[in-house]
Amino acid sequence: MYEQTVVVLARATAFTVVCQACAEGLNAGDYSGMSAEGTLRLEQDFGWTTCPRGHRIRVIRAGAGVRAEPTSPLW
């Protein structure tokens, strides 16, 4: 399964990301319909969301001590 991870701002509690798994199959710039929205409580450092097509996206909070490469163009 396609693995993808996004990083949200340290104080963010909600986020919107573009699903890379969906984006790879479509023309560049056509991001409509493949953004995933999610929430992350302040006390949580990790979470996950799914895009409208069911791809799982891991979420890491910035400053959580985890090094991760940004994989989302909206990061």
DSSP string for 21-58? HHHTTS-TT--TT-EEEEE--TT-SEEEEE-TT--EEE
Query: Of 13-21, 24-32, 41-49, 66-74, which segment contacts Zn ion by CB under 5 A?
Result: 13-21
Q: Pick out residues in 15-54 that bind Zn ion (CB under 5 A).
A: 19, 21-22, 51, 53
Least CB distance to Zn ion at residue 53 (A): 4
- Is 6 near Zn ion (CB under 5 A)? no
Using CB under 5 A, count the residues that bind Zn ion.
6
Distance, first Cα to last Cα, the chain? 22
Query: Is the distance from CB of 21 to CB of 1 less than 8 angstroms?
Result: no
> Under the rule (CB under 5 A), what is the footprint of Zn ion?
19, 21-22, 51, 53, 55
